[in-house]
């Protein structure tokens, strides 16, 4: 029965450890690399507002749902959902939600690790003073030359996957929890140092204005979908990562409180990163809409021109690597748990198998920047395609099914019990929000972006 189910993979030492690990999973390249450039591409303020709404109306309820499912199922995402459905006499096919999550986490990690590898390379480039005094052309040339070399990208990709495998292979407490306990606080300290540095540019309030002054003319239907997809991506939702981490949460912990902390921390890091990055961009006469190259092309120009830029640039990229790393380990865990349960193999073996598969797929992303830059599918290269497929399709769709399953399909007393919210008014807030707001918000944005409302 659900009450007595135990995870074969272990447990966090405390609720705090869970919050830390889940926040480490949430805060990553999405917050520091992706959020600033998609905000830049979509005109800033108005996009940020839509993103915040998505976090509130979709992210919050779903985060609670996903932790709830993990803790009740206590297995890999597929088996967890299948067991819960069975307990409640519901169709076992709901387990497809878990399958979609595992597939999404596998695909995401394959490209995530390549980009994290860029950041690692840039720690050294910056540390060796390669940006000092350079102009925009030479910094662009450095970046272009770097990504044109598949061997360099494969080298860093291998290092990131290698360390990720090493940590995950050590298990929930000795591996994941101890790594995050040490890395997450370090990342926060570095971030705060960098905002201090950005405040010193004299352009801090231009950064604030860019992020918070809404200009709705710049927002497209595609921009809404990007904001929704990003809300999923940044909170690590619908990939099974949060469900896995939820499977290791001690029974008595309050899920709602944990979810609130994770959301506050994740949103704060995204906004604070924006406040660290945009002032430096403006102070050096650069534009914020550079796309994925924003922090690898635009920002190094700024570091190259600013006082102590070599030190702060290096700290910036170290922060990025740490943030990415605590997310990478959470992306590996669902596949590892699935392999262990499915093939009845040891954690070490499962982690190595999963690592090899993800490493191989990552080569596709590496080659998107050099050997096969052309179109892979739908006018996108392999990397853009994976990014679009995961963030804009698989995650929203998986999230939609998941919220329907928890809020509509599971009996009320089950969710009420698992959330430890018997008779609480907050329970009703979660339930009605999850029934009537979250699924419709996802649907409207999703269909809207396909152009289905054109002409209304
Ligand atoms: N949330 C992470 C980020 O913002 C990415 C991630 C997605 C991690 C899904 C785990 C699962 O970078």
Residue 370 per-residue DSSP state: T
Q: In angstroms, what is the span from residue 108 Cα to ligand 1's centroid?
A: 8
- Which is the closest atom of ligand 1 to the Cα of 327? 8
- pLDDT at residue 35 greater than cutoff 90: yes
Handedness of CA 418, 422, 425, 428 (dihedral sign): positive
- pLDDT at residue 96 greater than cutoff 70: yes
Q: The tokens of 404 are what?
A: 């329907």
CA gap 67, 255 in Å, rounded? 7
CB-side exposure of 427: number of CA atoms within 13 Å? 16
What's the rounded mean pLDDT across residues 359-363? 97
Q: In angstroms, what is the span from residue 109 Cα to ligand 1's centroid?
A: 9
Given ligand 1 and candidates 39, 227, 241, 268, which is best to mutate, with the most ligand atoms within 8 Å of its CB? 241
E strands in 16-104? none
The end-to-end CA distance of the chain, in Å, is 50
Given ligand 1 and candidates 331, 335, 398, which is best to mutate, with the most ligand atoms within 8 Å of its CB? 331
Q: The tokens of 368 are what?
A: 């998107």
Q: In angstroms, what is the span from residue 201 Cα to ligand 1's centroid?
A: 30
- pLDDT at residue 411 greater than cutoff 60: yes
CATH of domain 2-449: 1.10.4160
What's the rounded mean pLDDT across residues 411-423? 92
Q: Any residues with CB less than 8 A from the CB of 176 and at least 6 apart, and which?
A: 21, 167, 168, 170, 329, 330, 333
Q: In angstroms, what is the span from residue 307 Cα to ligand 1's centroid?
A: 33
CB-defined site of ligand 1, < 6 Å: 25-26, 28-31, 105, 108, 233-234, 236, 239, 241, 327, 330-331
β-bridge partners, 380: 377
Handedness of CA 119, 120, 126, 130 (dihedral sign): negative
Is 64:257 a contact under the CB 8 Å cutoff? no
Is 278:210 a contact under the CB 8 Å cutoff? yes
CA gap 11, 250 in Å, rounded? 7
- pLDDT at residue 455 greater than cutoff 70: no
Please, which pLDDT band fits residue 314 given cuts at 50, 70 and 90? very high
Question: Per-residue pLDDT tens for 236-291?
Answer: 999 999 999 999 999 888 999 999 999 999 999 999 999 999 898 888 888 887 77
Q: In angstroms, what is the span from residue 308 Cα to ligand 1's centroid?
A: 31
Residue 452: per-residue pLDDT: 60
State the virtual CA torsion across 79, 82, 87, 92 in degrees, nearest 10: -160
Domain-wise residue ranges, the chain: 2-449
Share the mean pLDDT of the chain: 92
Residue 3: per-residue pLDDT: 57
């Amino acid at each position: 029965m659900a009450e007595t189910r135990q995870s074969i993979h272990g447990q966090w030492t405390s609720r705090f450890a869970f919050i830390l690990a889940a926040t480490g999973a949430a805060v990553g390249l999405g917050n520091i690399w992706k959020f600033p450039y998609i905000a830049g591409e979509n005109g800033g303020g108005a996009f940020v507002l839509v993103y915040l709404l998505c976090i509130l109306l979709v992210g919050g309820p779903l985060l609670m749902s996903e932790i709830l499912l993990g803790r009740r199922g206590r297995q890999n995402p597929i088996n967890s959902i299948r067991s819960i459905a069975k307990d409640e006499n519901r169709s076992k096919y709901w387990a497809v939600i878990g399958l979609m999550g595992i597939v999404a986490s596998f695909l995401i990690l394959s490209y995530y690790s390549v980009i994290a590898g860029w950041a690692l390379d840039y720690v050294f480039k910056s540390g060796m003073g390669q940006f000092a005094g350079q102009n925009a052309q030479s910094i662009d040339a450095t970046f272009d030359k770097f990504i044109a070399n598949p061997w360099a990208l494969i080298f860093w990709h291998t290092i990131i996957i290698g360390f990720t495998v090493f940590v995950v292979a050590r298990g929930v407490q000795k591996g994941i929890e101890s790594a995050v306990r040490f890395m997450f606080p370090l990342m926060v300290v570095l971030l705060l140092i960098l905002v201090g540095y950005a405040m010193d540019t004299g352009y801090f309030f231009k950064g604030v204005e860019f992020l918070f002054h809404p200009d709705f003319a710049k927002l497209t239907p595609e921009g809404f979908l990007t904001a929704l997809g990003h809300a999923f991506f940044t909170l690590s939702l619908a990939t099974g990562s949060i469900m896995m981490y939820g499977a290791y949460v001690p029974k008595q912990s309050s899920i709602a409180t944990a979810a609130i902390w994770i959301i506050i921390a994740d949103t704060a890091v995204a906004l604070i990163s924006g406040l660290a990055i945009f002032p430096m961009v403006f102070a050096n006469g650069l534009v914020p809409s550079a796309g994925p190259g924003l922090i690898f092309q635009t920002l190094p120009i700024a570091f190259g021109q600013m006082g102590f830029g070599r030190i702060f640039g290096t700290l910036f990229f170290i922060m990025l690597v740490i943030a990415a790393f605590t997310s990478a380990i959470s992306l590996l865990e669902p596949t590892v748990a699935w392999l262990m349960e499915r093939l009845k193999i040891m954690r070490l073996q499962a982690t190595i198998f999963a690592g090899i598969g993800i490493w191989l797929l990552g080569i596709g992303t590496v080659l998107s920047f050099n050997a096969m830059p052309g179109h892979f599918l739908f006018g996108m290269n392999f990397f853009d395609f994976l990014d679009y497929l995961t963030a804009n399709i698989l995650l929203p769709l998986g999230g939609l099914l998941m919220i329907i399953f928890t809020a509509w399909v599971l009996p009320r007393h089950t969710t009420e019990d698992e959330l430890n919210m018997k008779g609480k008014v907050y329970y009703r807030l979660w339930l009605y929000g999850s029934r009537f707001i979250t699924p419709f918000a996802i649907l409207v944005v999703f269909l809207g972006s396909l152009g289905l409302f054109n002409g209304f």
